[in-house]
């Protein structure tokens, strides 16, 4: 029982380590929760959770060798740069619309968008995490180097570790999306426009950093 508890807690810590640092996914969770409420932020976070749990599984079966292949890493970097650039530009476009919108019409459109955004938010979170080289480096390079296969040699421990990873990542998503959704209740057009500008700028900075890292790898 103690062994299972240790494995579960190890999974929780790994999940929190992957989810808590502020990066592109958390920026987008914050933006979604502010604009569309808890459900949209939570759905995007669930996309990220899916990838984190999947990576935890792959780490335990020795798939970190795949992450060491230059072609694989560069493909993810290029995809990540394109996705982050697109999302950053869309944030800035959304900021302009929020700033120019009539407050009453804006509230009505927000309610419509919130109901239709869950599936798109989940897919966005899935792709952002899947194409994030830092997430790949965390699970396939940092984790094996520091703690080894987190479930050890016994395969029955894999389910326990992944349950912990799920619990840790979901707990952060619920907390973070909940706080931002609560703040979003007091939103104003200018506030949402400012959040979109900050979020868009942050995503473009992440895209530029990923591009620079990719270029340096070729030099």
The pLDDT of residue 109 is 47
Quick check: 55 and 136 in contact, CB under 8 A?
yes
Select from 202, 198, 55 the least CA-distant residue to 133.
Answer: 55
**Alpha-carbon distance 44 to 125, whole Å?**
5
3-state secondary structure 5-46: HHHHHHHHHHHHHHHCCCCHHHHHHHHHHHHHCHHHHHHHHH
H-only helix segments in 68-117: 70-100, 103-116
pLDDT in 10s for each residue of the chain, 219 residues: 447 788 788 888 888 888 887 788 888 898 888 888 899 999 999 999 999 888 888 877 766 666 666 776 677 778 878 888 888 888 788 777 666 654 444 444 444 344 447 888 899 899 988 888 778 777 776 676 555 555 554 555 677 878 888 999 999 999 999 998 888 777 656 666 777 788 778 888 888 887 887 777 666
Q: What share of the chain is helix, strand, coil (3-state, %, to 5)?
A: 85, 0, 15
The pLDDT of residue 44 is 93
Any idea which residue has 């473009």 for tokens?
204
Quick check: 58 and 21 in contact, CB under 8 A?
no
């Amino acid at each position: 029982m103690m062994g299972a508890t240790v494995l579960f807690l190890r999974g929780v810590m790994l999940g929190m380590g992957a989810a808590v640092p502020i990066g592109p996914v958390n920026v987008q969770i914050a933006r979604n929760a502010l604009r569309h409420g808890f459900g949209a932020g939570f759905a995007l976070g669930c996309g990220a959770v899916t990838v984190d749990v999947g990576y935890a599984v792959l780490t335990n079966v020795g798939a970190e060798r795949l992450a060491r292949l230059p072609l694989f890493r560069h493909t993810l970097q290029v995809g990540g740069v394109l996705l982050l650039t697109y999302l950053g530009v869309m944030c800035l476009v959304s900021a302009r619309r929020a700033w120019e919108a009539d407050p009453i019409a804006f509230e009505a459109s927000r309610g419509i968008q919130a109901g239709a955004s869950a599936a798109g938010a989940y897919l966005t979170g899935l792709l952002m995490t899947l194409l994030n080289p830092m997430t790949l480096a965390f699970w396939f390079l940092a984790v094996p180097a520091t703690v080894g296969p987190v479930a050890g040699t016994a395969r029955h421990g894999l389910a326990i570790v992944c349950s912990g990873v799920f619990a840790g990542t979901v707990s952060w998503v619920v907390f973070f999306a909940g706080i931002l959704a609560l703040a979003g209740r007091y939103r104003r057009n200018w506030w949402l426009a400012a959040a979109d500008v900050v979020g868009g700028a942050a995503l473009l900075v992440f895209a530029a950093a990923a591009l620079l890292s990719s270029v340096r790898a070729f030099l």
